[in-house]
Structure 1
Amino acid sequence: MKSRNLAESSELLRMALPLMAKHVIPVTPKNYAVWYEYVSGDNVELQEKVQNIIKENSKIQENEVLDVYNEFLDDSVELSKAEKAQKELLKITSGVSEVLKNAFTDIEKYEKSLEKYNNQISEDIEVKQLKSLVNELTESTHTMNEHNKELLKEIEGHQKESEKLKVEMESVKREARTDSLTSIANRKAFFDYINCMEESGKLAEGQHCIFLLDIDKFKEVNDTYGHIFGDQVIKSVAVVLSKNTKGKDFPARLGGDEFAVFLPDTSLEGAVAVAESIRSALSKAKIVKSKTNEVVKNIHISVGVANYIQGEEIESSLSRADELLYKAKQNGRNKVEF
């Protein structure tokens, strides 16, 4: 990785972050190292590899990014590219340290000058010499003051740069956890939430439930009205999910027309009631086609609700919810099974 100054590193960071957000790639050292190298243009083969993957699949997955890292950047002898990328980011803080170091050096020089003047003034001197010393002291004070002003400007510049990068990093993390079509949580955010519950010990406390749902005959909706309208239907489901879940409830789009909701501290009876309110609200909804103003009714969902059993893997709860969702389909759709 080519050594760059602070401004160049910051600019490459600003170029890399939006691309990572676009492809929903988490901001980790290895992932960042790949995208940093990609936007820098230093590694042509890496750049072509990434472009070919995107061209073929329209998106690049995190596992593919890691494959690119292993192929082009992994180096067991030298410092890894990921660590070098982190070093580039640390230039912002090291830049501030350098400014402060120089400032302390200037202060030490100024202090020595004052000591010299003090020693000279302690001796018997003529008025002419005293005037000369005062002039020198005034000049030194002015120089020190100018240095302090420059120091303040540099520190403020570094601070603004750091704040800007912090905001961008937070934005990327947020976008990486948000479904781009519906603006609710995505699959990664859903499982991260459950993992946090488990790590904090909250999953082992109280009653929890989970339910899966998808849109009945969604393929027919797409075939009849088109994919743009299909996206509109998916957005409508997300809106209804958000309106009918509260507090710590965590709705998410897992992909396609499939959604999930995790309900902490909720009994099976309570979870069924929430699922039923969502199903009922959607069955009564009227979705208007934006181009023709045609009103489309009868958008139904099927839901499978399962309670979380203490000590089991969350995948087991999801599996039972999925089986119940399939049962709802088998029993005529537009139903909640539990």
Structure 2
Amino acid sequence: MKVLARLKKLEIPMSPNNFELWYVYYARQNQEVIEGIDGTIKEGRPITTQICDDLHKKYLLDNKKNEKVREAGDKMNDALAYVTDMVREAKASTEQYGESLTGASNSLTQTDDIEELKTILAAVAQDTEQMIEKNRRLEEELEQSGEEMATLQRDLDSIRKEAMTDGLTAISNRKAFDEKLKYVRQRSDEEASIFTLMLIDIDHFKSFNDTYGHQVGDQVLKLVAKTLTDGIKGKDFAARYGGEEFAIILPESNAMAGEVVGNALREAVAKKEVINRNSGEKLGRITMSVGVAQYSGSESEEALIERADKALYKAKETGRNRVVVSE
């Protein structure tokens, strides 16, 4: 496991907070943590316990999901402590067995009495059987501990995924979007590559929601979210941006590609008829407006979002159900 190996190499205590920090780093799910650690390394400063504590307090302490992460970290810590105790006990048993063999060897060289030889050999045989049994138990306990730690790792993966997922639509949430955009922009700067951002808004959603109720409104949000995720591919990334707004990041794609994708998604949504699941009543079709902006290579995430948002506003202002590309 990368986390445990890194902590051991850095000689940093295996505490729940340190485990969480480095787990998040290797999961590449928190850009601020990534930049904090990578920045320290680039500056040539050693990664110390104090630096880990500072990064954890600054970027992870306020996350409400962290209580679950810390709980899993505590369990992982307990499991590691148990394994350490088992290894320590096995080492002591091995040393004791070695001393027993040395003693028996010395005794064998000092006597010719058959009965005494039998007694010495019987003692060695007994010690050997006990050592074999201890090793067997150790193997079983290590295997069980390994399974427990694998389960905890899956729990941590699930917790991190939950923290980045929108509860209603089951696609990535705003936090996941913010971190993804920051990561993609950084990669774009490093590799001189392009990417495009799309902001999407469901037309007349408020009036639709007010007319048919929040349950139907939620149904519409789920429908749009599924249509978006089904309509993108590869490295493309879709998220619920907030309310009835969604966002899509298209790595290695220009604005023209964004316009094509936007129109394809817009048409796919417009073809779907909304049906009240409780009554079976047909409620009509929905449309959406899309704003597209290609990263300029010299702007902040906020500036890029603002350009895409202005393009979205223009799409709605000029009739809705259309795609507008930022100039």
TM-score (norm 2): 0.75
Task: Name the CA distance, whole Å, in 2 between partners of 1:83 and 1:247.
Answer: 33
Identical positions, percent: 34
Name which of 247, 258, 265 aligns with 1:271. 258
Runs of 4+ in 1 over 4 A off after TM superposition: 62-65, 82-89, 201-204
- Secondary structure of residue in 2 paired with 1:210: strand
Give the alignment of 1:36-47 within 5 angstroms: none
* 1:287-309 residue CA offsets vs partner (Å, 9 max, x unmatched): 22111111222201111111111
Counterparts of residues 129-278 of structure 1 (less than 5 Å): 129-201=116-188, 205-278=192-265
Q: In structure 2, how many angstroms separate the alpha carbons of the residues matched to 1:63 and 1:139?
A: 57
Shift in CA distance, 189/67, structure 1 to aligned 2, threshold 3 Å: closer
Shift of 1:65: 7.1
The counterpart of 2:62, out of the listed 61, 66, 86, is 66
For structure 1, the 5+ residue unaligned runs are 1-11, 13-25, 30-61, 69-81
Change (3 A) 1:88 1:206: closer
How many angstroms does 1:223 deviate by?
1.3
Do the aligned partners of residues 213 and 84 (structure 1) sit closer, same or farther apart at CA in structure 2, a change above 3 Å counting?
A: closer
Alignment match, 2:301: 314
Distance in 2 between residues matched to 1:327 and 1:196, nearest whole Å: 28
Q: Does 1:122 align with 2:109?
A: yes
Per-residue deviation, 1:204: 5.4
- 1:274-285 equivalence runs, <5 A: 274-285=261-272
Question: Aligned pair 1:97/2:84, yes or no?
Answer: yes
Amino acid at match of 2:199: L
Partner residue, 2:24:
none
- CA drift of 1:86 comes to 6.0
Matched position secondary structure for 2:138: helix
Would the aligned equivalents of 2:79 and 2:149 in 1 still touch at CA under 8 Å? yes
The alpha-carbon deviation at position 83 of structure 1 amounts to 10
Report if the CA contact (8 A) 1:209-1:271 is conserved: yes
Give 3-state SS (helix, strand or coil) of 1:297's partner. Answer: strand
* Cα displacement (A) at 1:311: 1.4
Identify unmatched segments of 5+ residues in structure 2. Answer: 1-15, 17-29, 34-57
| Equivalenced residues, count | 269
Preserved CA contact (<8 Å) 1:276 1:336: yes
**2:10: which partner in 1?**
none
CA contact (8 A) 2:169 2:225 kept: yes
Aligned twin of 1:52: none
